[in-house]
Amino acid sequence: MAPMPCATAILPAEGRTIRVRGLVQGVGFRPTVWRLARDCGLAGDVWNDAEGVMIRAWGRPADLDRFLRRLEEQPPPLASIDSIAWELSEECPIDRDFHIASSRAGEVHTAVVPDAATCPACLAETLDLSDRRYRYPFTNCTHCGPRLSIVRAVPYDRCNTSMAGFPLCPQCRAEYEDPEDRRFHAQPTACQACGPYAWLERFVDGGTEPQLFSECDAAEAARALLLGGSIIAIKGLGGFHLACDACNEDAVARLRGRKRRYAKPFALMARDLDVIRRYCAVDSQEEALLKSAAAPIVILPATGPDRVAKAVAPGHPTLGVMLPNTPLYHLLLRDMDRPFVMTSGNLSQEPQCTDNEEARHRLSAIADYGLFHNRGIVNRLDDSVVRVMFGKPRLIRRARGYAPAPVKLPTGFEHAHPLLAVGGELKSTFCLLKDGQAVLSQHIGDLEDAATLADYQKALSLYLALYDHSPEVIAVDMHPDYLSSKLGRERAAADGCRTEEVQHHHAHIASCLVENAIPLGTRPVLGIALDGLGLGADGTLWGGEFLLADYKTFERVGCFPPVSMPGGAQAVRQPWRNTFAHLEAAIGWECCKREHPELELVRTLESKPLATLAAMMRKGINSPQSSSCGRLFDAVAAAVGLYQDAVSYEGEAAIALESIADARALALEDGYPIQLRIQAPASGGLTTMDFSPLWRAILDDLEGHTPVAVMAARFHRGLVRAIIEMVRHIFERENQRLERIVALSGGSFQNKLLLEGVSHTLEALGLTVLTHSQVPANDGGLALGQAAIAAARLMASRHRPHEKVTSCA
Ligand SMILES: [Zn+2]
Ligand SMILES: [Zn+2]
């Protein structure tokens, strides 16, 4: 028993009040404190409040120190401590015991945490013949299980989740109420007696017929069917998957045809690391990612001794693989020595199904069977995607397992006003900013799809409620036609708040500054934003930008040369249009024909309606000028014969160009020449690039039948060198105004060769290079940058009330 821990006690004792901040609510923090405090012989209590967790503890100073040390070293697995601060207390404890007190009044900031993959203890129980949860597909505890995916409202209690319809059985209730149990206050806890169950249905002619598989057998039966070549729709944590045997060429091809997804690689799920290693190389960082509570899809080099079906990732040297994240998936993959395809359960372009009825309706034409369960998915969460590049994990899609964990805002944003940023049009997310932190939503998708837009609105309403958030300002992209911008404006008008327009590439750079903790008030850095398209401040389309930027403003000092996009959006879908436009701009089509009449590229382009296109470009009809890096990649990919006619998604041709680049050539070859085109300050001072030497070299290589892999390598090398030259030039010119920091953002920096080439060289030049890691470099990170910019401007305007803030409200 603890000594009488009071100032008047005979034993030496002191009291401390301890404040813990961070992700410490809803993750089993209080029971951990309770257990450690009792172990250390302390008296006192612990509770949640508006700022996190508060602890009052009495005991011998050495025991109190030991307690603090252990708390820091052994927090619950899903917690993330920002800080522990304590001070001496004059108070006396009420008794010798340590208590868990109920939450104190005040708003709760961090009530909902990300969904977490099955923890080792729950997995062991699920596979233990003698355990009462043996083969139970919904086993979970305080350290794992569904969270955001099942929440309907705050506070995060069972009655506000899709577990509301499953009253706890006496045994589960006893665990739930016992602070010593791993399931103390685990809201989704359940067992065979009281929880959800799974079953298998057969899809027949647009309908279903129930199968007579009991819940324990459903996963086993599904596995047998998959091995027999069937396609099965499986209800996961955040949505449905479509699964088939990844080594069955015929099944994978059938899935591609039925899903109408002809090119994008399929993700895989494998039982454990041993199975993954048979197909992929996995380093220690990738291993840690795979095994993390987020359990994302990790992009790995497909260099293992064994091969999956070719149709899984045609033309890709990598595979996206994840480990099982629920007991249902563990049961499905048990004893499986090869992976299953586990791709999102939808028709191409549509959002992933989450509801049973919807899945029966929409997936019965794709899948032969459905593995269902009756725990509702309230919030759709796609699988997150991560790739390790330049020594760090880089989130490409941030959803299940990561959202809604807050991003800590840098110094200076502590008193930022509550605001909402609505993100972009593609790979949409939104961001709530409040109390010095930013909550970035999960990846929602491309808003042009009506179902995705509806999902976006639903998620936004939920987040505003969960975080008790009423924005004072809504930050939107400058593009007037983005559905997110329209939605933001409508909401602002309805709520009587202001909108703040943010330029697309400025938002990219700000997002990179935020996640790298660059304090507000830092002098401008050089931001390089390379992506597909975004509306520029001058009304043209941008996408290859060099900006002097801080959180409030930016100045465009360099860019890729603007080139027409004949047919506008058509040019995004048909890469050959960009090849033509680039050749026309760089050397002139007539000259190109004259010099290379026999070239296959020239003959192929000649079969297209070039005269019409040329006239459109000349007259500026539906041929917007764009400095896009993405379109340059498209143009080069199509020139060397990759995806000439059409791509099925933006970036496909660029990804192919990266994938095919020859490693040896990358190390040895010189890059294609690209020169800077420097303007005098009098004529604007904007430095661009001259792509004509690049195109002449490409045409010469085509003429000389240079292998495509070598050409791809030369292009990457040349582009990296040109970017570095631009950086050197800008620093020479702007040295006085600039921090020696370069921030890299935009979807093009998901290209490993580009990211690593540019980062490596800039660091060698002694510059600090900021890159994305926890937030995607693509438009999925846009909302975070918009939020930071709007907050910075708002704070500046409130600070100096007479200064006008750039705003188009
Ligand atoms: Zn668990
Ligand atoms: Zn139970």
pLDDT at 801: 41
What tokens does 217 get? 């057998």
CA–centroid distance, residue 496 to ligand 1 (Å): 45
Q: pLDDT tens for residues 264-288? A: 899 999 999 999 999 999 999 999 9
At 108, the pLDDT band (50, 70, 90 cuts) reads low
Strand spans (E) along 287-339 = 297-301, 318-322
pLDDT at 96: 87
CB 77 within 8 A of CB 39: no
At 240, the pLDDT band (50, 70, 90 cuts) reads very high
What tokens does 216 get? 């324990």
CA–centroid distance, residue 733 to ligand 2 (Å): 69
pLDDT at 7: 42
Q: What is the dihedral of CA 341, 342, 345, 349, to 10 degrees?
A: -80
Say if residue 681's pLDDT is above 90. Answer: no
At 212, the pLDDT band (50, 70, 90 cuts) reads low
pLDDT at 215: 54
CA–centroid distance, residue 376 to ligand 1 (Å): 19
At 23, the pLDDT band (50, 70, 90 cuts) reads confident
pLDDT at 806: 42
CA–centroid distance, residue 193 to ligand 2 (Å): 5
Amino acid of residue 558: G
Q: Which ligand is nearest to the CA of 140?
A: 1
CA–centroid distance, residue 132 to ligand 2 (Å): 9
Taking the model in full, what pTM does it have?
0.93
CB 64 within 8 A of CB 57: yes
Q: Which ligand is nearest to the CA of 136?
A: 2
What tokens does 558 get? 């360099």
Say how far apart CA 759 and CA 727 lie, in whole Å. Answer: 12
CB 345 within 8 A of CB 360: no
Q: Which residues surround ligand 2, an ion (CB under 5 A)?
A: 169, 172, 191, 193-194
CA–centroid distance, residue 147 to ligand 1 (Å): 12
CA–centroid distance, residue 130 to ligand 1 (Å): 17
244 has which bridge partners?
A: 341
CA–centroid distance, residue 155 to ligand 2 (Å): 22
CA–centroid distance, residue 175 to ligand 2 (Å): 9
Q: Which ligand is nearest to the CA of 139?
A: 1
User: Number of C-alpha atoms within 13 angstroms, CB side, residue 101?
Assistant: 18
pLDDT at 12: 55
pLDDT over 90, % of the chain: 80
Say how far apart CA 366 and CA 364 lie, in whole Å. Answer: 5
pLDDT at 468: 86
pLDDT at 24: 87
Burial of 490 (0-12, 13-18, 19+ CB in 10 A): exposed
CA–centroid distance, residue 326 to ligand 2 (Å): 18
pLDDT at 92: 83
Say how far apart CA 590 and CA 604 lie, in whole Å. Answer: 15
What tokens does 457 get? 């609105």
CA–centroid distance, residue 171 to ligand 2 (Å): 6
Please report, for residues 19, 150, 188, 189, 195, the alpha-carbon distance to residue 164 in angstroms, rounded to integers and kept in the order given: 33, 10, 9, 11, 10
CA–centroid distance, residue 38 to ligand 2 (Å): 28
* Residue 441: DSSP 8-state: P
**DSSP per-residue string spanning 618-686:** HHTSS--EE--HHHHHHHHHHHTTSS-S--SSTTHHHHHHHHH--HHHHHHPPPPP-EEEPPPGGGT--
Q: pLDDT tens for residues 476-517? A: 999 999 999 999 999 999 999 999 999 999 999 999 999 999
Say if residue 804's pLDDT is above 60. Answer: no
Residue showing tokens 């405090």: 37
CB 385 within 8 A of CB 395: yes
Strand spans (E) along 356-445 = 369-373, 385-389, 392-397, 407-408, 419-421, 431-434, 437-440
What tokens does 431 get? 């961001």
CA–centroid distance, residue 572 to ligand 1 (Å): 46
Mean pLDDT, residues 652-679 taken together:
91
Nearest to 2 by CA among 71, 52, 57, 48: 57
Q: pLDDT tens for residues 425-434? A: 999 999 999 8
pLDDT at 6: 46
Q: Which ligand is nearest to the CA of 195?
A: 2
Say if residue 408's pLDDT is above 60. Answer: yes
Nearest to 560 by CA among 413, 385, 667, 689: 689
CA–centroid distance, residue 140 to ligand 2 (Å): 11
CA–centroid distance, residue 123 to ligand 1 (Å): 7
pLDDT at 90: 87
Q: Which ligand is nearest to the CA of 183?
A: 1
Q: pLDDT tens for residues 457-481? A: 999 999 998 888 999 999 999 999 9
Say if residue 292's pLDDT is above 80. Answer: yes
Phi, psi dihedrals of residue 318, rounded to the nearest 5°: -125, 165
Contacts of 311 (CB under 8 A, 6+ apart): 249, 252, 253, 256
Q: Which ligand is nearest to the CA of 193?
A: 2
CA–centroid distance, residue 662 to ligand 2 (Å): 57
Nearest to 182 by CA among 137, 119, 103: 119
Nearest to 327 by CA among 511, 492, 124, 162: 124
pLDDT at 206: 57
Say how far apart CA 383 and CA 236 lie, in whole Å. Answer: 10
pLDDT at 210: 62
Q: pLDDT tens for residues 326-381? A: 999 999 999 999 999 999 998 777 889 999 999 998 999 999 999 999 999 999 99
CA–centroid distance, residue 236 to ligand 1 (Å): 17
CB 393 within 8 A of CB 289: yes
Say how far apart CA 236 and CA 367 lie, in whole Å. Answer: 15
